[in-house]
Amino acid sequence: MRRLPALGLLLVSAAAIAARRPDVFTRPQFWAEDGMEWYARAYNEPWLANLLAPYGGYLQLVPRLVGIASQLVPFSRAPLLMAIVALAVQSIAPVFLITDRFAWAVPRRAVRILLAMIVIAVPNLMEVHVNLTNVHVHLGFLALLVVIAEPRGERAWRVFDVAVLLLSGFSGPFCLLLSPVAAVAWWHRRDRWSLVRLCCVAVPALIQLMELSPRATPPSDPTSRGFAIRAPFTPDGATPTNLLRIFGGQIVAGALLGWHVYVGLYAGAFAAHPWLPLLLGLLGVAFLARAARVTDNFALRLLLLYATLHLSAGLASPIIIGDRPPWELLAIPGAGQRYYYTMTLAFLATLVWTVAADPRHAMRVGAALLLVLATSVGVYGDWQLPPREDFDFPAQAERFAQSPAGEVVRIPTPPTPFAMVLVRGCEEPYVPVVREGLDRSVVGEAETTVNPRRERRLRSRRACPDRSGG
């Protein structure tokens, strides 16, 4: 794909994704760990130590880098910078799917465009939509596409492949899930570049495996983080019934009808007739299992393998807060959507394959009807995502700017009860810097000028130099 058309498609992809929730850009504010961890840790602590600090048991390179970069812009603009980076990452996969690197798996460009539109408009994804906290989910999916894509010898494509795999590998645990997929892909192709890609997945996976801990303890330092809870695997609530209920509700109903309909079903028909989500889950699992068995499309099998690993890992050790067993909480509409994202995409992609290539006519007709349902109800109803709760971040930023140096400032962020805790540094981002050689006491405000280099240096300082222990 040529550079100018690719750039145009990226802009179209970004515009479509941003249109689903415009308030992220018109009213930017930190979301979850965006403020509590990525920004606050970079602000309160030395950058190098922050860059290599694990979170949730694994390294998070991309969010850490963006958190550090956000120190170079005014505090009031930091959430917008994070949203732009998250949007850029999320916009790449749909465009990448259209390229002829996937022609071996999906020969017709029209079908590849349909798949790209599904990635843009997938229902039931509010939690992972344009936020830095869940950018590793989109990086993981993009890394999967790199593993699936046909190897190319051009330098630009090879740089792209390596960069995506390494950035994804050091930004969360998805390289652990991708390792067996990359190994199977290399075994199938037996070419040198597939082996290189396997190494780019395996090396970060080994490092992440050494960092990974089964339980992330809540941090005790109030200057950098708020809370993090990981529920380890437990038999409490982990039953086949709850598994089918999750699959039938979050995956099947979520993909076909969208979150907005699933909310009503969960409180209405599913509550009155508990067997309904179980039946949907059983049919959904059987549908995907049959497709994996009868298809000769190797790319679809790799997608289903990765989606199964992603869902299994999320259910084995979910991070979720509540007073009920984790697997019961995970069936609630909107809960744990980061664990269902890839499986939802795999379910919709399997519908597309069934319509286009299933050997049985009845299956093709049935899948076509379900695809129409998903488009007309799920995609249409979930296209415009509800805005995030407004915590009036501009007022919070102004309050922080007016705080004296050394004061501990707590700033609430969505979703409740997340909050970021900052120790006010010595910088004065809103006070002009007097021109060199001039005495501020004898120079009027109109005659003062801002020294851009000095202003950048002040904005980048995170703490008072005399405050030890950060």
CA angle 294, 297, 301 (to 5 degrees): 80
Summarize the confidence of residues 438-446 as an average pLDDT.
37
Quick count: other Cβ atoms within 10 Å of Cβ 234?
A: 12
What single letter denotes the amino acid at residue 50?
N
Q: Residue 65's pLDDT is what? A: 95
Whether 195 has a pLDDT exceeding 70, the answer reads yes
Q: Residue 82's pLDDT is what? A: 96
Q: How many CA atoms lie within 13 A of 410 on its CB side?
A: 7
Q: Residue 272's pLDDT is what? A: 94
Tens-place pLDDT, residues 125-156: 999 999 999 999 999 999 999 999 999 889 99
Per the prediction, the chain carries an average pLDDT of: 85
Summarize the confidence of residues 349-358 as an average pLDDT.
96
Tens-place pLDDT, residues 296-315: 999 999 999 999 999 999 99
238 exposure class (CB count in 10 Å sphere: 0-12, 13-18, 19+): middle
pTM for the full predicted model: 0.86
Tens-place pLDDT, residues 87-126: 999 999 999 999 999 999 999 999 999 999 999 999 999 9
pLDDT grade for 350, boundaries at 50, 70 and 90: very high
Summarize the confidence of residues 268-288 as an average pLDDT.
96
Give the span between the Cα atoms of 56 and 331, in whole angstroms. 22
